[in-house]
Amino acid sequence: ILAYCNEHKIGVVTQGGNSGTAGGAIARQSEVILSLRDMNKVRDLDVISGVVVVESGCVLAELDAHVRESGYIVPVDLGAKKRCMIGGNVSTNAGGLRYLRYGTLHGNVLGLEVVLADGRILDALFSLKKDSSGYDVKQLFIGAEGTLGVVTAVSIALAPKPRSSQIAVLGLSDFSKIQKAFVLARQNLGEIISAFEFWERRCNELVVQYEKNPSPLADPHEFFVMIETRGSFERHDVEKMDAYLEVLSAEGLVEETKVFRDSDEMERTWLFRSQMAEAHAKSGCMHVYDFSLPSRYQHDLLVAVKTHLTNAGLYGVADAPVRDVTIFGHIGDDNIHLQVVADEFGGVVEEVMEPWVYEWVGGHGGSVAAEHGLGMHKGKFLKYSKSPVVIDTMKSIKQMLDPNGIMNPGKHVERA
């Protein structure tokens, strides 16, 4: 298919679970849509080394359930895991909820099989965890969003299935206390910490209102933190969590704490966290931004956006078109989600926000795309977080591997 399309200069858009948020899998004009849904086989599972080789159409949740039967888990976990597919996860370099523990797909993917734009098959489907024999070519395709080739199979290093898990939810009065609690978590929970999520009061209220899901804590707070640990020895893990919570209390950092150790309770708590985007979308027209930003500037972003919109007469006054401005995210990996909920999409709100917000993030050492990718919309803002030389290098790689520009045309670095 690709060889034919390349010869006739026909654009190709690859699709999987269609769960992305940046428009990377949307056909713009008359491109061929290449669905990988039927390429969903598990080719191999090495239970000794903990490596699985799968085709790109495997649904993440189904793959995780499969490897759990052998005592492993897939090291990426996403809110869209029941829809998204492993090929799309790799192509967007999806981060997910437990990045803090298991890291990035750049580290967990051991090999790839890729069909290049001219139809040649790049067989780099290695299962070795150590390999220094030349350039690590697979890294070019992780996060490339289908602009360099079609990822058809993936070799992934799995993680052991945890024997012990627990969640603590904290209520805090200001953002600086979240930062201090995170530092203490790294020091006191160490190797068992797997997630450190935060959200603000308004996010909590929206989930309760629109998803009809009760708050995990009894009292309202300005900020909430959810900490998950995963280990192999329950008593040891419980002792570490209890000691950590005592430290937080002694330091005067928390107003309320609650620990969940029952599996159903933990699942409901994760559900509450995962419903935030949906709750915002139900409350109005949600303009969502996915940034990486040093933790010390994350609350500053919220304040800056509210001030910017207020000065423009769009927020904080009667009949203002912007209803809510909120943040939530993953403190452990500097990923923050900013939501601007308005009466309508685009229009004056988008004009006032963009490119201002991308320039602000870039000016504070951040990235304009943390885990959702560049897609159709954000490539033009790449200049705010990448230097001209970096962008030129990306374009050179694109030109070398796809000289006719057929792979996901008009997206990603092409828009930079």
pLDDT at position 21: 64
pLDDT single digits (tens) 309-332 = 999 999 999 899 999 999 999 888
Those residues of the chain that have pLDDT short of 50 are none
pTM for this predicted structure? 0.91
pLDDT at position 308: 98
Contact 1, 32 (CB under 8 A): yes
Q: Which of 199, 134, 126, 190 is nearest to 157 (CA)?
A: 126
pLDDT at position 103: 87
Spatial distance between the Cα atoms of 77 and 60, rounded to a whole number of angstroms: 8
Sheet-wide strand order for 223-231: 256-260, 164-172, 223-231, 193-200, 322-330, 335-342, 285-292
Spatial distance between the Cα atoms of 107 and 141, rounded to a whole number of angstroms: 13
DSSP for 21-90?
SSSTT---SSPEEEE-TT---EEEEETTTTEEEEETT-BHHHHHHHHHTTTEE-S---TTTTT-BHHHHH
pLDDT at position 376: 82
